[in-house]
Amino acid sequence: MNLRGNWNYPTSIKFGAGRIAELADAAKAAGIARPLIVTDPFLATQPMIAAAKAQLDAAGLPCAIFSDVKPNPVAANVEAGITVLRKGKHDGVIAFGGGSALDAGKVIAFMAGQTRPMWDFEDVGDWWTRADPKGIFPIVAVPTTAGTGSEVGRAGVITDETTHTKKVIFHPLMMPKITICDPELTVGMPAFITVGTGMDAFAHCLEAYCGPFYHPLADGIALEGMRLVKENLPRVAKDGKDIEARAQMMSAAAMGATAFQKALGAIHALSHPVGSLYNTHHGMTNAVFMPYVLEFNRKAIEEKMARVAAYLGLRPSYGAFLDFVMQLRADLGVPHTLPEFGVKDPDIALMATMSPNDPTAGGNPVPLDEAAARSLFEKAMTGKL
C-alpha cells in the first residue's frame, strides 16, 4: 500500500437545534455585509426563509433572495445568480437549502469575481489554480436536508445542459466559512426526500470507505457515519419529527461529505448520467445502484465489508452487509430497479460511455470501463444482482 495522502478537513460548524438564530452573527463573522440568500423555489416561499431574511435585515445586513435553482442545478442558474449578486452589490452568499441550493450558491460565490468561464474550473488536475482567489466571495451554508453534505465541501455539482453531463466545479476557497447545522430545519422534509438524502449520506460513507486510497481519517468517519444512518434513517422515515434522529442524520450527512474527499466510485459514476439525462433525485438514484455496485466490487472490498458489518452489529461478512443494504432499501421503499424508479427506457449505450468519464469513476476499487458500466445498467434494469 502507498502510505501517502493529502488531507484537508472541514470548516467551522455550528451544530444544534435552534442555531439558525445565529445566522446574522455567522454572516458578520464571515465578513458578509450584504448577503445574497441562494435557495430553491419551494423554500423561497417558506417561513424559514422569511425568518432568515428578517433576522439579517434586523441585524443591519440588507439581503436579497435568489431562488432560480433547479433540483439538478444547471449553468444558467449559476449565471442568473451571478447577475443578481453583482447588480445588488452583494458581498457574500448564504447558501440555504438542500444540495441543489448549496451547490448553486457556492458556485455563484466562487464565480462572483472571476473572468474566465465556469467550465475552466472543472475538477480536473490543477484547473482550480486558474481562479482568482480575490474574486471568491465568502459563503455561509445552511443545509435543510441531511444527505449531500455540500455544507462542508469545496465543490459544487453543476449540469452542463449542452452535453447533459454533471460537472464538478472545485476550489479550496469554495468551502463555506461557517456552516449552521440546525436539525429543526429538516423536520418538514417529505418522506421521499428524507429517505433519498439519507441514502445519499450512506452512499458517501460507503464509497469513501471502499475507495482504494490511503486515508484512515476518512475511513473512521465513514464507518461511524454508516452506523448513524443504520440507526437513525429508519427512525426519521417513520417519524419525521424525531429531532434526535434528525440531528444524527445531519451529522451523518456532514460526515459523508467529509469522508468522500478520499473517494467516491461507481455508485455515483452510474447515478450522475441518470440524474443529468432523466432528472432523477440524486440520493435515491444512488440507493437504486448500491447493491449492483457492491456485487461488482465484491472481490476488492470483501474484507472491508466484513469489518463494516462487524461495526454495525451484523455477522462479520460481506454477505451480511449486502443483506442489510437490501433489507434497508426494502424497508424504506427504495426502488430496486430503474424501471420501478420511473426510468423505463434509458439510453444505456450513451450512459455507458458517460459513466467511466465521470470524475467519481476513478475512485472505484475496481476499474469501471464502458463494458462494465453497460453491464451494471442492464442489471439495474432487470434487478438481477
Per-residue three-class SS string for 29-89: HCCCCCEEEECCCCHHHCHHHHHHHHHHHHCCCCCEEECCCCCCCEHHHHHHHHHHHHHCC
CA atoms within 13 A on the CB side of 383: 9
Q: How confident is the model at residue 10 (pLDDT cuts 50, 70, 90)?
A: confident
Taking the model in full, what pTM does it have?
0.95
Tell me the H-state helices in 260-359: 266-278, 282-311, 318-332, 348-354
| Predicted confidence (pLDDT) at residue 281 exceeds the cutoff of 70 | yes
| Predicted confidence (pLDDT) at residue 304 exceeds the cutoff of 80 | yes
Question: What grid cell was written down for 62?
Answer: 440588507
pLDDT, tens digit, 9 for 90 and up, residues 313-325: 999 999 999 999 9
Tell me what pLDDT residue 29 has.
98
**Residue pair 40/98 in contact by the 8 Å Cβ criterion:** yes
pLDDT, tens digit, 9 for 90 and up, residues 221-249: 999 999 999 999 999 999 999 999 999 99
pLDDT, tens digit, 9 for 90 and up, residues 181-221: 999 999 999 999 999 999 999 999 999 999 999 999 999 99
Determine the residue type at 372.
A
| Predicted confidence (pLDDT) at residue 133 exceeds the cutoff of 80 | yes
CA distance 85 to 68: 13
pLDDT, tens digit, 9 for 90 and up, residues 99-113: 999 999 999 999 999
What value does the mean pLDDT take over residues 173-184? 97
Mean predicted lDDT score pLDDT of the chain: 96
Length of the chain: 385
Contacts of 154 (CB under 8 A, 6+ apart): 8, 170, 171, 172, 173, 174, 175, 261
Per-residue three-class SS string for 353-364: HHHHHCCCHHHC
H-helix or E-strand spanning residue 155: strand 155-160
Contacts of 35 (CB under 8 A, 6+ apart): 27, 56, 61, 63, 90, 91, 92, 93, 94, 140
Tell me what pLDDT residue 3 has.
84
* pLDDT > 70: percent of the chain: 100
Contacts of 294 (CB under 8 A, 6+ apart): 301, 305, 321, 322, 325
What value does the mean pLDDT take over residues 19-44? 98
| Predicted confidence (pLDDT) at residue 373 exceeds the cutoff of 80 | yes
Q: How confident is the model at residue 1 (pLDDT cuts 50, 70, 90)?
A: low
Nearest Cα to Cα of residue 137 among 96, 179, 181, 176: 176
Tell me what pLDDT residue 119 has.
97
| Predicted confidence (pLDDT) at residue 2 exceeds the cutoff of 90 | no
CB atoms within 10 A of CB 54: 12
- Please report the domains of the chain, with CATH numbers, ordered by start residue: 12-186 (3.40.50.1970), 191-382 (1.20.1090.10)
Tally: H helices and E strands in the chain: 12, 8
